[in-house]
């Protein structure tokens, strides 16, 4: 099965299934000398793990990681890092009744069409549980980025028709996001979101929404022209996450109704430490121009569909094409957004650190200073 790796100089490969013994990620490209231990990974894994609140799935997984290679005496060695996260609370029996039925909204049919075989227990390889090890790899990437002044914060911007008021995405703090179980920085709307999610659970239904992910401190110059544009790689990274049906950055689809005179961000400059700092007055371009970072905050939004697994009965077909009905047992999120946030943060971090290392390599090959690799403090 191809397609299990992403990145060039910072490259991750994942393995594992939802109801297998666990998940593994191998991270290639981490420089030696980075202080790293399991405790650095656990906070983001706790934000992603199931069973964390009344609005998430009640599957109980501690998601305790074990670093099994690439770290010696608390520091990275430069060798590939392998991280293992065991599965402890699988209930494969919940899926035995539907092994020959195709769940609406899932990859059951397409996996059968591609491979002629599938692991029906919780979706197997296509399960969102695969993102556990992505989040672990993202924690490593975040630590590398932090050394260069780059921070990443994601939050829930919308659930159903409820939209948070976020005047300045770059000003949202992790503390604001973690202040409520729905991870919305607008507390007034957050309470209504929680009520809506609980209503969906009581009605045996689910609801979708939008997550916004913001990177600050990214200097100008990251990204490659044409096919490896930063926006293209970030788009691929976000679309690789389960349940993502739409990705936009900056003004996004609002540009379709805007005039050029309204949409263009006007350049300004200011003198700081006897150097000219170029910036724009607005950020409709979402921190990327021509697919290369501009030095403004990178702002991305992901549209996340409602959870496909529903306990209510739905019409479907069997693998033999016979008409039948299905009600998915097991434990599922009535809304994916609260746990999606750390997943999206991880994919942004993995993509950004890859482009950071690529930019450093370009600068090193030119025998000059690492243009675009130092933050403007």
Mean pLDDT of 15-29: 92
Give the residue from 262, 269, 263 showing the smallest Cα distance to 286: 263
What pLDDT sits at residue 361? 93
Weakest-pLDDT range from 78-82, 108-112, 117-121: 117-121
Cα torsion 354, 358, 360, 364: sign: positive
User: Residue 377: its pLDDT value, please?
Assistant: 43
Q: Does the pLDDT of residue 370 top 70, yes or no?
A: no
Q: Would you state the structure tokens that stand for residue 295, as one six-digit string? A: 């030095």
DSSP code of residue 219: P
Residue owning tokens 């971090």: 349
Over residues 148-202, the pLDDT tens digits come to 999 999 999 999 999 999 999 999 999 999 999 999 999 999 999 999 999 999 9
Write down the CATH number for the domain with range 5-250+285-365: 3.60.150.10
Structure tokens at 153: 């914060």
Tokens of 136: 């672990």
| pLDDT at residue 126 in the model | 86
Residue 371 scores a pLDDT above 50: no
Q: What is the mean pLDDT of residues 107-122?
A: 84
Nearest to 298 by CA among 311, 289, 308: 289
pLDDT of residue 311: 87
Cβ–Cβ < 8 Å for 135, 118: no
- pLDDT, residue 21, reads 87
Other Cβ atoms closer than 10 A to 255:
15
The pLDDT confidence band at residue 328, using thresholds 50, 70 and 90, is: confident
Q: How many CA atoms lie within 13 A of 59 on its CB side?
A: 25
Taking the complete model, does pTM exceed 0.85, yes or no? yes
Q: Do 168 and 236 contact (CB within 8 A), yes or no?
A: no
177 SS3 class: helix
Going from N- to C-terminal start, the domains of the chain cover: 5-250+285-365
pLDDT in tens, 92-107: 555 677 788 998 998 8
> Which pLDDT does position 375 carry in this prediction?
45
Q: What is the pLDDT of residues 24-69, one digit of tens each?
A: 999 999 999 999 999 999 999 999 987 777 887 666 678 999 999 9
Contacts with 27 (C-beta within 8 Å, 6 or more apart), sequence order: 10, 11, 12, 70, 80, 81, 82, 83, 137, 140
Q: Which helix (H) or strand (E) holds 299?
A: strand 298-304
pLDDT band at 368 (very low <50, low <70, confident <90, very high): low
């Amino acid at each position: 099965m191809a397609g299990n790796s992403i990145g060039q100089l910072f490259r991750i490969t994942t393995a594992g299934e939802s109801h297998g013994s666990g998940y593994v990620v191998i991270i290639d490209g981490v420089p030696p000398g980075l202080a790293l231990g399991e405790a650095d990974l656990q906070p983001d894994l706790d934000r992603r793990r199931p069973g964390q609140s009344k609005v998430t799935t009640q599957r109980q997984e501690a998601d305790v990681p074990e670093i099994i290679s690439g770290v010696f005496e608390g520091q990275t060695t430069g060798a590939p890092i392998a991280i293992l996260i065991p599965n402890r609370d699988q209930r494969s029996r919940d899926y035995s009744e539907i092994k020959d039925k195709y769940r609406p909204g899932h990859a059951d049919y397409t996996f059968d069409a591609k491979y002629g075989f599938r692991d029906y227990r919780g979706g197997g390889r296509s399960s969102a549980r695969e993102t556990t090890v992505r989040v672990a790899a993202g924690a490593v990437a975040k630590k590398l980025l932090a050394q260069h002044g780059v921070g990443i914060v994601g939050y829930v911007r919308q659930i159903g028709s409820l939209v948070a008021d976020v005047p300045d995405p770059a000003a949202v703090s992790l503390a604001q996001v973690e202040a409520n179980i729905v991870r919305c920085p607008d507390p007034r709307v957050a309470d209504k979101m929680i009520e809506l999610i609980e209503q969906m659970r009581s009605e045996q239904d689910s609801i979708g929404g939008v997550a916004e992910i913001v990177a600050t401190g990214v200097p100008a110059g990251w990204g490659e022209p044409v096919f490896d544009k930063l926006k293209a790689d970030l788009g691929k990274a976000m679309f690789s996450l389960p349940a993502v049906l739409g990705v936009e950055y900056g003004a996004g689809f609002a540009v379709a109704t805007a005039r050029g005179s309204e949409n263009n961000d006007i350049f300004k400059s200011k003198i700081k430490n006897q150097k000219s700092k170029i910036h724009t007055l607005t950020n409709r371009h979402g921190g990327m121009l021509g697919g290369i970072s501009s030095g403004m905050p990178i702002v991305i939004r992901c549209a996340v569909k409602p959870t496909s697994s529903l306990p209510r009965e739905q019409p479907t077909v069997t693998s033999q094409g016979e008409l039948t009905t299905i009600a998915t047992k097991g434990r599922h999120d009535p809304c994916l957004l609260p746990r999606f946030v750390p997943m999206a943060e991880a994919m942004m971090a993995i993509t950004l650190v890859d482009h950071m290392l690529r930019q450093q390599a370009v600068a090193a090959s030119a025998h000059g200073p690492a243009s675009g690799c130092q933050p403007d403090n």
